[in-house]
Structures are given as C-alpha cells and as structure tokens.
Amino acid sequence: MSNGTVPVASRSFSGMPPRLRRRIALIFMVITVAACLVAAALLLSRAADERRAIEQRALEAAKALSFGFDQEVAAVNYLLKGLSKSPALLSGDTKAFYDQLKATPVPEGSWLVLNDLAGQVANTLRPFGSPLPRHVDFPNYREAFERIRDRRWAVSGRMLAPLKGSIVVALSLRLDDAEDRMNGHLTIILTEARLGAILDEQTLPTGWVKGLYDRKFQPIVADRDGRKGSDLPAPATLATRLADAGPDSTITGTVESTDERGLPVLVTFRRSGATNWTTAVTVPLADLNAPVTAALWQMAGPGSLLLLAGGLAAWFTARQVEQPLRTLSDQVTGANNKVNELSGQLLVLQEEERQRIARELHDSTAQHLVAANLGLATLEGTVVATPASRSAFAEIESLLAEALRELRIFTYLLHPPNLAKDGLQATLRDFAEGFAGRTGLVARIRIPEEVDDLQPELQRAILRVVQEALTNVHRHAGASHVSVNARIRSGRLLVRIRDNGHGIGGSARPDGPIRLGVGVAGMRARMEQFGGSLRIRTGRVGTCVVAMTPVIRTKRSPQSAGRLRMPWQVRLPKANGRTLS
C-alpha cells in the first residue's frame, strides 16, 4: 500500500445484537431451568421418601405376618406338650385320651390326631374306633416322619387333608415310651381358614398380595383384595433368593420379581427359622413408583409454563436493549477499525526499526567485538606468559566469542533473508538453516509451495510470526529440536511451530518463570489483521504455537513456478574458536 501499512481485516459488529439476544435468552432459560431443577429435586426427594415409606410398610407387614404365624405355632406347640403329659396317654388308655382331646379347646376349624408308628389311632374329626388313614396313605409321610423324629417336633408344609378335602398344615410333637424311644406323635391340624384369619390381621392397600408359603414355596394361603386361596403362587424369584438359606436361619429382605400375571412387583419377605415358612407381601412396582410418577407429572405442567414465561421475558428484554446495543456496536466497530489501522502502522514501524537495529549491530557493534578480539590476540604476544595471564586471556577470548555469536544470532533473527526476492518457502528454509546453524538446534521445516501464492502482506506476517516464535525458542525454551509445519486446507492457512523444551511453565529459571511479553502480542496482532488467530499450548514436553488465518491466493510469480514441496532437516554445529567472521 502507498502509506506503508498492511491490509486490515475489519470486523463487523452488525451481528452483535442477534448474538446478544441469543445470550440473553440463554441466560433466562438457564435461570428458568435451574429453578425447575431445584423444584424438581425437592419434589423428587419427597417422592423418594414416600417410595421408601411404602417399601418399609410392606416389609413391616411381612414381618408382622411372620411373627403372627410363629406365635400361633408356639401356642399350639405348648398345647401339644401339655397333652403329651396326660395320665390317660401315659397309661395307654386311648379312649380316655380321645375324650380328653375332644374336650380340649383348639383354634377354630382345627382338630387333634394321635398317631402311632403305623397310622392314626384317634382323630377328633371321627368317632372313636372309626377306620382312620395309615401313614402310607400320605405320599410325603417318610419325610415328615424323619423331621418329627430328628427335631422332636415339626411343622409340615402344604398338604391335603383326606378327611376334609382341604388344604391344611400339621404341627406334630414326638411321643416316646419309657425307654425314650419314639412310639408315635401327637398332631394338631391348622386349616386354611385359620391361617387366613391371621392374614386378615394386616390390612393392605388394594392390589397388594399377602401370602404364606411352605419350605418348598408352595402357597398355604394367600390373599389379594380380600380373595383368599391357595392358588396364588409364590413370586418367581423368591425361591432363588432363599435357595441357600439354612434350615434354622431367619431372613428378611426385598427382591424385585414378576407376579403370575407377568407384572413387575416388589416382594418383601420374612423366612422364619422356627417354621421354615415364608411370609411375603407383594407390591406392584406401579404403586411403589406412584409418588415419583406423580411428582414428574406435577413438574411437567408448571415447568413448561415457566420455560415459556422465561422465553417471553428474554425476548422482551432483548428487544428493549437491542437498539442501544446496536448504537454501541457501531461505535465499537469504528474504534476497532482505527485500532487495527494503528496496529498495522505500528507493526510496519517495528519491522523497520528491527532492520535498522540489525544493520547497526552487524556493521558497528559486531566489528568492534572483532577488533577487540584481534587486539586481544596482539596483546597476548606482548605480555609475559604466566598461568594466570593465560587463563585470563582465554576467559576474555571466550566471552568475546560468545558475545559475538549471540550478537550474530539476534542480528539474523531481526533481519532474515529477502522475502520479496526468494518467496516465503525458500525464505523460511534459509531462515531455518541459518537459525539451526547459529543455535545448534535441529530444525525440521515442512512448507508447501502454495504459500508463495499468498498475498505478500500475509507472507510477511507469517515470516514474522515464525521469526518471533523461533526467537522465543532460542531465548527461553532450552530445546534441542524445533519444527515448523504449514498447510493450506479449506481456504485456511495453518502454521505450527513446536519445540521439545521445558514449556512456558516448566523448569525453574534463574530469572524466574517465563511470562508472555510483547512478542506474543505482536504475533497475535499480525494474525488478527487478516482475520486469523494465534493459540499457544505448553506443557512439560514443550510448547506449540499455532497460527491460523483465511487465505486468498494470488497469481504465482515466475520465480516460484516449478518449486517442489519437500521438508528440510538441518543441524549445524555451534561457532567456536578465536577466529570469527
């Protein structure tokens, strides 16, 4: 450009109000959603408490039923023990003992049976002397007989009473002769009606099932909505849950299952170690989850209204602030354009100043250092050689050499090869070779030939970004390798400078931690002139500078035609010795 400035990519703020409207709407929606979430949390917490209360009620009901059956069994056990001490029984007067059994109060619907080792001897359901069943008439007699003999008393499972044709359970007490040998057993029969009366002591909500099951999980009696019977099977998973239970263990718990209709249910149960019976209360999961479902429905309506109100409020607020923000946006746009223009001018001035300083350092300061080094060599021949003088001359000579090497590195970094003459690809290659030769770093460069088709101002900006990044690597990174990679894809140029140093926040340095200075700000400003950006990622394994900008290709110059795309990897030794050019 005629005034020496670089093109400035102006930023339009005309889109600011729409974006701000979206942000305002988002803020309102976030506040609204947060309020809904708080209300939902409170409702769901209360619903969860209600759900736990329902589950606890079912479990307490199952335990209460189990205790009720245990007490019934204990009561009739005491009754049988009292009858077993009867003088009529001990003397063998069966008729007198039968009369005593008939006169003994028993639970409603129950009856008493006296058995010897072969079969029934007396049964209060029949007149004395009537034909009575033998033990072999019962299919599971052998198992029941063994339990009575081993445990001295036993509670049967579900069984069919042949004399009544109904479902019953038998509670038996072992009888012994004078030599303590088993000679029979005394039994009381409890009917389904009697056990159902115990179930009635627990009132449960409609749809819940309460039941009593024997050790094989066959139903003895169950109740659903007042309809009792022995045809409601135990929940499918109950037997699996209690498969490993010991014969005398009492277990209480809950398990999810499905009922005989295939509906999901929660089963609360208690298995009694005294009777081996299991009482269970089955609750439909729909009832158990009803509080949570109700809470969700309660939240749905008010939540929708609240979201709608929040959206309308956001829209109204955005409309109110749109015009003032548009005016402010136009003012910011004008100020931003001026700032960008000034930034471009400052960068041009900075470049010119760097070139002037580089020439001054190379043409004046470097020559003075060379002259001082030559004068020192002349002086060394005229001074009496002593160990101390030789050491002093060597140290001064080393310091001059190091100062001259550092001066030439910074001079080269300030004023790299000619970009307009060679193009960006060759310039970056030559710059990397010179940088590697002067610093002893291994530099790997991958630059496509398409970069020579970019507009000259952008090529100069990319060169300065790479230059500044490599300068920072030399000064601060403590690296041994550095790479510069560039590629053009989808209309965007991406340049990545990576080193293997200790990173910006890495190992301790004598002058303290590295801070981002004006160099990085200048790199970012150069990229922003063209609508691009600069990102820096750093860690313990090095730092990566990524410059990205949209590109507009120009017609390729004759000098750049026919160039090949290829990487270079160079490593030159550090300068040393007395003679420096």
Among residues 312, 326, 314, 309, the alpha carbon closest in space to that of 22 is found at: 314
What's the DSSP call for residue 134?
B
Q: Which residues, at least 6 apart from 293, have a Cβ–Cβ distance to it below 8 Å?
A: none
76 CA to centre of own chain: 58
**Domain covering 14-325, topology:** Beta-Lactamase (3.30.450)
- Which residues are registered as beta bridge partners of 536? 545
Q: Tens-of-pLDDT digits for all 581 residues of the chain?
A: 444 444 444 444 344 456 666 677 677 777 877 877 887 788 888 888 888 999 999 999 999 999 999 999 999 999 999 999 999 999 989 999 999 999 999 988 899 999 999 999 999 999 998 999 888 888 778 888 888 888 888 898 888 776 667 788 999 999 998 888 999 999 999 988 888 888 888 889 998 999 999 988 899 899 988 888 788 888 888 888 888 888 788 999 999 988 888 889 999 999 998 888 999 999 998 888 888 888 777 777 676 776 676 667 666 666 666 666 567 667 777 776 776 677 667 766 766 776 677 667 766 777 777 777 777 777 766 776 777 777 877 888 788 787 877 777 776 666 655 676 788 888 888 887 878 877 888 888 898 988 888 888 888 888 888 888 888 888 888 888 899 999 998 889 999 999 998 887 644 444 444 455 667 888 888 888 888 999 999 888 889 999 999 987 665 545 444 443 334 343 433 333 332 22
Closest to 223 measured CA to CA, from 65, 76, 70: 65
Q: Which CATH number fits domain 353-570: 3.30.565.10, 3.30.300.30, 3.30.420.60, 2.70.40.10?
A: 3.30.565.10
Residues in the chain: 581
SS3 136: helix
Domains of the chain, residue spans: 14-325, 353-570
Strand order in the sheet with 442-447: 533-539, 542-550, 492-499, 481-489, 442-447, 566-570
